[in-house]
Structure formats: C-alpha cells, structure tokens
Structure 1
Amino acid sequence: MAKPSSKPKKSTISSSTDSTSPDNLAQEEDTATATITVTAVEVPELTEQEQSDRLHLERRVERAFFEAGKALTELRDRRLYRSTHKTFEDYCRERFGFSRRQPYHLIEAAVIFDNLVEKCERNVHILPTNEWQIRPLSKLDPDIQPEAWEQAVESANGKVPSHRIVKDVVQRIMERTKVPNTYQIGEVCQILTKDNPELRGKGGCWGIVARVNDFSCAVKTWDGVYTVGLQHLKSYNYLPAECEQMQVICDRLGRVYSSGLEESVQKFLEMLGKLNRAYLTDLEEKLLAVLEFEIKTK
C-alpha cells in the first residue's frame, strides 16, 4: 500500500508565511498615496481707518502708566484723599492696593515720560510702555535721560528696551560722569530745582538726608521723602546740634501734615518747610503748638 505523500501543499505554505492580506495591501497603498488638502485663508489688509484705530489704541496702552502717574500727582497735590484718609500712602493702599512706594514710582515715571516726549529726537518713536522700563532713568539728570533712552532703544535694535537694558545704559553713563557723594545722614540740605520738572514745587525746601546713594540722596521733607540728585542739593552746613533740632522740627511738621487738616494749614507748613534758619520764631512755635494740640484732640 502506497504511503501518503509528506510534502505539504504549496497553497498551505503560502498562506502561513504571507501575513499581508489583500485588504492590508490595499490599506497600505491608500496610506502611501494619501494627500492633505490645505485651504488657504486670505487675511485682508487693514484699512486706513483700522490702521489709525490700531495706532490710537496702542498709544493708549503705552500711556496707561503715564496717565496713572499724572492722576496720582493731582490726587496728592490737591489732597483729594483728605475726606477719607489721613495720608496719601494710606489712601493709595486701600483704594488701589498699592505698596507704599508704588504711587511715587508712577508719579516719577510720568515726569520722566513727559521729559522723553519733549526732548527725544523726532525720529525716535519708541516710548516706554510701563513704569519698570524707565525706573533706572530716575537716577539721571533730566537733561541726560533722553540720551540714555535713545541709547537703550538702539541697544534693543529699535524696539522697546527692557529694564535690564536701560539699567545697563544708565550704569555706563553714571560711571562716565561719577561725582563723589559727600553728604551724610542727618545733614540738612536745600533742594534746588534747576528746571527739573521732577522737583516742581520743591525749590527752596529744606530736608534731612535720610539715605546716601552713589549719585543721589533720599531727603525727608515736611510732606514726604524724595530722591534728589546731588546736583540739586545744597548743604546748609549746620552744626550737629542744629541738624538735630531741624530733625525734630521736620518730624513735627510731618505729623501735622499727615493729619489731614485744612489747606490753609498746608500753606503754613509749606512756609515753614522753606526756612533758611535752624530754628522757629516764638510766633511760629506757638502756631505749630496749636496745630499739634488740634490734631491730638481731633
């Protein structure tokens, strides 16, 4: 009897070794030849009116911190906070959530912004967009601030420079024009405006040096603390005892000022804040004592 053949059928071998079915082959062919169609969307150009609107809105954004600084200046100078708060700092903290120094930074930045707009070259259209960018400029004299800003814009390749870039430029200028600071804490000085808009209204005021910086001093006056460049200070050369006496007078004036009394009282304090002598007359002492008594019983 013949033995059955042990040779497998070719069809069996073919079906067991070929894992790609006709359906899979068709799918691979479809995948290899698939194309993606992208529809181009045409973006219309801005009309002249839209370009004008965009520029106007951009300017509003850029000037937001400037407008805030100008508004805060008027609120402070006219003491429009006096009906609800004793001090400007308390008012800004409770009304706007500002830290103690923040409103003064904005006020200072508004003055610098005005200066840049007025004195920068006509072909420089790049202006600051926030207070932090130009804070380093406060260390420079107003006449030098435009030069520093223009250098910073150039370093930023014609764009709005960062705080770091402006700070670096200011540092280079300060090193170039460095003047030694010989003032001492507690020294009594007179403030000289010299056409500095930042010191408007402070010309002739005396103050106590509270902090000595490389190129400026923090000076305490009857209505606050101001950072003043060395070129805007003049020492009275008082004796140590006289300086201590003026420190006491400054503290007394400050307490009366922060109490929020009438505008006429503010004028009296302003007059005392411009004395060029290290003492009060008998009449001035009596008037100040009356005001101190008033705020104690208020």
Structure 2
Amino acid sequence: MSQQEDPATATITVTAVEVPELTEQEISDRLLLERKVERAFFEAGKALAQLRDRRLYRSTHRTFEEYCRDRFGYTHRRVNYLIAGSVVFDNIVMGTNCSQNEEVDETGTNCSQNGEADETGTNCSQNGEVDEMGTNCSQNEEVDKTRPNLSRILPTNEGQVRPLAKLEPQQQVKVWQRAVQKAGGKVPSARIVTDVVQKIMERTRIPNTYHLGEVCQILAKDNPELRGKGGYWAIVSAVNEFSCTVRMWDCEYTVGLQHLKSFNYLPAECQQMQVICDRLSRVYSSALEESVQRFLESLGKLNRAYLTAVEEKLLNVLESEYGGEITP
C-alpha cells in the first residue's frame, strides 16, 4: 500500500477571489433598473389605459378586449386590474410626497421646504447630495437611519394594490403606509394589505355599504315582488338607509339589502355594465319577438362585465334594427 498523507498535516491552498466594489455609475444603474422592475405593472397599466382611451387598437381590432387578448394574451379582467392598479400606484406616490413646507414627517423622511419630488415620490432638497439610497437630500438634514423610510416603499406588483382600488385616494395612502409598517418596513404582501383594508372597513362599517353605480345581483328568494328577477344584474341608482334603488334594462326597483349581492366589479367594469344597460334599455320592448326578448334577457343574467364577440355582433344587429346603434 502506498503511504497516504496525514489529513491533519495536509496543506490546503485557498485562492482568494476579489469581488470588485460597484462604481458610482453601477450603483446608479442598479437603482434605475430596480425601479423599472418595481414599476413594471404600473407602466403596463398606464400604457393600456392610453391604448384604450385613444382607441389605438382600432386599425386591427373592433374592440379593446379582443385587441388585448390577441396582442398580449390578457383577459378582460386582467387588463382592468392593471389599469386600476396603475391609478392606485399614482395615488400612493402622490400621497407619500412630502409637502413643500414640511420638515420631518411621521415616517422619518426629512425634506427641505423648497424640495422637489424625485421619481420615487420622496420630496427632497434641490441642492442636496445623493444619499446611499439614491435619494437627493439636503446636506444639513439629519435623518434617523434606524427607522425605515416608508415613503420610499412602493408597490411592486398589481396584487398588492388590488385591495386598495375600492378606497378613496387618501385612504389608499394611509392603508398602504400602515401595511408597510406591519410588514416591518418592507414591501407588504397582498395578504397583509387585504388584512389592513378589512380591519379599516370593519371599523367604519355602515348599515348600507353599497354605492352609486355598483353592479349587484338580484336575490329573489322570499320576495314575491322580485319573482322572475332572481339572478339578474342591476346597477345601484340610489342608496337608501336599508335598501337600494337599482336599475335594470326594463325598469327600476327598490330592493332590500338582503336581496342584493355585489359582483365586486372594479370601477371600470361598473362603467362598462352601465353602457351595456343603456344599450339594452334602448332596444328592449315587450312588443319585440319572443326570441329577441329571450336573447336580451339572457344578457341581463351575465356574470361578467363584458360581451363576447358573438353577443356584441347580435346586439349590434338588434340596435340597428330596433333602437339605433349606441357606440360603446
């Protein structure tokens, strides 16, 4: 047997690998790229809103929904979530900006009286130096670095802001900051944001939580006055103390809260349902042929906030024949 080397006396050679520090330019590039990643859903939502509002899809597609499905593979609801999320993101950025006359806010962000807001939404002095986070702050300001700067923590995906869409802009900012605090000064998960929203809604609960324009489903059980209307959707046109006046395509009804169930549609979806309701009202008549009435009534039981391509074509034909087409 050959003599083996004693492991206890063996010499191990370790080659040190030097990791170069980031240059000033690399630090700047990293921050810029990180912000682009964080703002990806925001930029997508803003772009989709412009494509929709300016109807830039019209050269190739008849409807915005078809265009998004063919071009991006996005469902109708996904598009609405992204657009609504970009609006909430804007509100959070604007709401977390320091006011011009503010010194140090409660989140620990120190800002100059004459400061301007940087792209992260943090308002700092024009003449300041760049700190380690890339935020321009005054040389003479002192910031408590042991406390997380909540105004710099922004949403990184649409799911985090989805629970905020139903709140007022001022509430969105407060809820987001509270969620950041609950997450230990980090970007909160969608679950944390949802928990904060639910707790606030429970504290501010009122007997009637429906609002004008909300789309609800009619629950006709144990109410003979709603016989034949069960399962249909309706739009809230008036909010009473313990009931709502809702509009359907044929008339209005006053319905108790126990006979309504919200679809929880986004604001944009509620507006689309309002358009569909207007179009159905324009065409519907008891004098129509039975087959036409049945088709229109079937649209009154939609559990989605849009028409399919076939439904859209059929309704266009009926509008041309009976009521004059209404451009959605």
Q: Are the equivalent residues in 1 in contact too, given 2:282–2:323 (CA < 8 A)?
A: no
Cα deviation for residue 111 of structure 1 reads: 0.2
The AA in structure 1 aligned to 2:47 is: A
> Residue 172 of structure 2 is aligned with which of 120, 130, 145?
145
2:152 match:
125
TM-score by length of 2: 0.54
Distance apart, 1:106 and its partner CA: 0.4
- CA distance in structure 1 between the partners assigned to 2:46 and 2:324 by the alignment: 35
Structure 2: which 5+ residue stretches go unaligned? 99-108, 110-150, 211-215, 218-233, 240-245, 253-259, 285-295, 297-305, 314-318
**The structure with more helix, counted as a fraction of residues:** 1
Of residues 275, 281, 289, the one that matches 1:248 is 281
Distance 1:165 1:245, change over 3 A: closer
Name 1:201's counterpart in structure 2.
none
**What is the CA distance between 1:89 and its match in structure 2?**
1.1
Q: Which residue is equivalent to 1:224? A: 272
Structure 1 residue 291 and structure 2 residue 325: aligned?
A: yes
Structural mapping, 1:50-65, within 5 Å: 50-65=26-41
2:74 alignment partner, SS class: coil
1:161 is aligned with what amino acid?
P
Distance 1:249 1:33 in 2: 95
Aligned to 2:182: 155
Specify whether residues 41 and 78 from structure 1 end up closer, same or farther in structure 2 by C-alpha distance, changes over 3 A only.
same
SS at the partner of 1:129?
Answer: coil
Residues 1:30 and 2:6 aligned together: yes
Which residue of structure 1 lines up, in the alignment, with residue 131 of structure 2? none
2:139 matched to which residue of 1? none
Aligned identity (percent) is: 53
CA contact (8 A) 1:219 1:225 kept: no
Where structure 1 has 5 or more consecutive residues not aligned to the other structure, the ranges are: 1-20, 192-205, 227-243, 260-284
SS in 1 for 2:169: coil
Contact 1:62/1:130 (<8 A) preserved: yes
Contact 2:43 2:86 in 1 (8 A): yes
2:21 equivalent in structure 1: 45
Are the aligned partners of 1:218 and 1:225 in contact in 2 as well (CA < 8 Å)?
A: no
Q: Which of 77, 97, 115 is equivalent to 1:101?
A: 77
- Distance in 2 (CA, whole Å) between partners of 1:68 and 1:81 is 16
SS of match in other structure, 1:46:
coil
Equivalent position of 1:79 in the other structure:
55
Q: CA contact under 8 A between 1:181 and 1:213: conserved in structure 2?
A: no
Residue 224 of structure 1 aligns to which amino acid in structure 2?
Q
Alpha-carbon separation, structure 1, partners of 2:62 and 2:238: 27
Measured on the aligned residues, the alpha-carbon RMSD in Å equals: 4.0
Contact 2:80/2:268 (<8 A) preserved: no
Q: Is the 8 A contact 2:165 2:266 kept in 1?
A: no
3-state SS, counterpart of residue 84 of structure 2:
helix
Cα gap change, 1:179/1:56 in structure 2, threshold over 3 Å: closer, same or farther?
Answer: same
Tell me the SS of whatever aligns to 2:152.
coil
Report the equivalent of 2:162: 135
In the alignment, the residues of structure 2 paired with residue 126 and residue 114 of structure 1 have an alpha-carbon distance, to the nearest angstrom, of 13
Contact 2:42 2:82 in 1 (8 A): yes
Corresponding residue for residue 282 of structure 1: none
User: Residues 225, 126 of structure 1: CA spacing in aligned structure 2 closer, same or farther, 3 A cutoff?
Assistant: farther
Residues paired across the two proteins, number: 210
Contact 1:222–1:250, Cα closer than 8 Å, also in 2: no
Q: Structure 1 length as normaliser, TM-score?
A: 0.59
Distance 2:38 2:7 in 1: 53
Q: 1:46 to 1:288 in 2, by over 3 A?
A: farther
Q: 1:269-288 residue pairs with structure 2 within 5 A? A: none
Shift of 1:212: 4.0
Rg (Cα) greater in structure: 1
Q: Kindly tell me: are residues 95 and 286 of structure 1, through their superposed partners in 2, closer, same or farther at Cα, counting changes over 3 Å?
A: closer
The question of whether the paired residues in 1 share the 8 Å contact of 2:80 and 2:269 is answered with no
The amino acid of 2:282's aligned partner reads I
Alignment of 1:149-188 (within 5 A): 149-181=176-208, 183=210, 185=217, 186-188=234-236
Query: Is contact 2:95-2:173 (8 Å) kept?
Result: yes
Which amino acid in the other structure matches residue 148 of structure 1? V
Deviation per residue, 1:245-297 (Å, 9 max, x gap): 98623999x98xx67xxxxxxxxxxxxxxxxxxxxxxxxx99993437x9xxx
Deviation (angstroms), 1:213: 3.7
Name the structure 2 match of 1:18.
none
